[in-house]
């Protein structure tokens, strides 16, 4: 089979069967583009051999690719080769190769005081400020991903049950609680701002002035603006609210499995990073206390 045809089949597999987001499947195919650029003689699937992957990973390491990049590239190519193998177009074993360990980078987390400052930053007397206030409250109180927040539709919020029905990665559904305090601001936004918006008939909850869905870049810039306004010097993003949500839950005694379910993590190891954040905070507090003596 021609490589281009195989990539088209693989793309359909990622979209339909795996249900991956656009950003994820594009990342997979971009990694494969680099792989086939390195091996220009591979025109058909029959030209693929089991030693191609280790050769390419060795090349990436020699080019000083980061550990994270090498791990992602290896995963992308292995997934493609496994797809070909299961489809009868690759007759070799998927090679096991030695890979660098992924560096453990603790996510940036705001203290509860910093969260309070950030959430109080929007001017709720202005239409955009009240909308941003509602968005920040919802994101922090429910631990949503930014994509989940921006695509949130009206029918997914139960004001009575205080629950959001979230469709996360891979279109997987989960129910997460939302605070009554957050819901009050959502209702204020809907009554005072959204009902007057050109897109008031849209299913999307949070809209820009034109009535369209708010972009990631705009929301990112808004959070940066609010952080600067209240004097938060950390480099933060919308995802920082999700990190802070998880860390504060664990600090408060929540069970790891419960936090995993609320965040929508498939693997509990992904959630465990927040236990490290909590420990790091404890060590920092101890060091500060001891240094004052």
Q: Which domains does the chain have, with CATH numbers?
A: 3-86 (1.10.150), 112-291 (1.10.443.10)
Average pLDDT, the chain: 85
Q: Is the pLDDT of residue 284 over 80?
A: no
Burial class (CB in 10 A: 0-12, 13-18, 19+), 12: exposed
| 8 Å CB contact between 219 and 206 | no
pTM for the whole structure? 0.60
Selected catalytic residue, list 72, 145, 156, 281: 145
Condensed to tens digits (0 to 9), the pLDDT of residues 195-239 reads 999 999 999 999 999 999 999 999 999 999 999 999 998 888 888
Q: Is 38 a catalytic residue?
A: no
Q: How confident is the model at residue 40 (pLDDT cuts 50, 70, 90)?
A: very high
pLDDT tens-digit readout, 88-146: 998 888 888 777 766 556 667 888 899 999 999 999 999 999 999 999 999 998 889 89
Instruction: Please tell me which residue in 156, 169, 174, 192 is annotated as part of the active site.
Output: 169
Is residue 131 flagged as an active site residue? no
Q: What SS3 string covers 42-82?
A: CCEHHHCCCCHHHHHHHHHHHCCCCHHHHHHHHHHHHHHHH
Tens of pLDDT, residue by residue over 252-271, are: 777 777 777 777 766 666 66
């Amino acid at each position: 089979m021609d490589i281009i045809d195989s990539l088209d089949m693989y793309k359909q597999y990622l979209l339909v069967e795996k249900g991956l987001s656009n950003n994820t499947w594009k990342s997979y195919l971009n990694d494969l583009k680099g792989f086939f650029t390195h091996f220009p003689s591979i025109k058909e699937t029959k030209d693929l051999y089991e030693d191609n992957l280790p050769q390419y990973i060795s090349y990436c390491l020699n080019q000083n690719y980061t550990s994270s990049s090498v791990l992602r590239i290896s995963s992308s190519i292995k997934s493609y080769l496994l797809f070909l193998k299961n489809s009868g177009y690759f007759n070799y074993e998927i090679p096991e190769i030695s890979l660098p360990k992924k560096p453990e980078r603790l996510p940036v987390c705001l203290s509860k005081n910093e969260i309070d400052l950030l959430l109080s930053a929007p001017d709720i007397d202005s239409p955009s400020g009240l909308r941003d206030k509602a968005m920040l409250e919802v994101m922090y109180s429910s631990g949503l991903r930014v994509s989940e927040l921006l695509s949130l539709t009206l029918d997914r919020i139960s004001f009575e049950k205080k629950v959001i029905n979230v469709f996360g990665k891979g279109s997987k559904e989960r129910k997460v609680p939302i605070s009554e305090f957050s819901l009050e601001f959502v209702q204020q936004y809907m009554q005072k701002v959204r009902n007057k918006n050109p897109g008031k008939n849209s299913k999307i909850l949070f809209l820009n002035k034109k009535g369209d869905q708010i972009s990631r870049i705009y929301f990112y810039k808004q959070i940066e603006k609010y952080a600067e306004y209240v004097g938060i010097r950390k480099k933060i993003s919308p995802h920082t609210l999700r990190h802070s949500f998880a860390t504060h839950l664990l600090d408060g005694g929540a069970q790891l499995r419960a936090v995993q379910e609320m965040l929508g993590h498939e693997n509990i190891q992904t959630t465990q990073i927040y236990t490290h954040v909590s420990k790091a905070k404890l060590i920092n507090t101890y060091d500060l206390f001891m240094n004052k003596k």
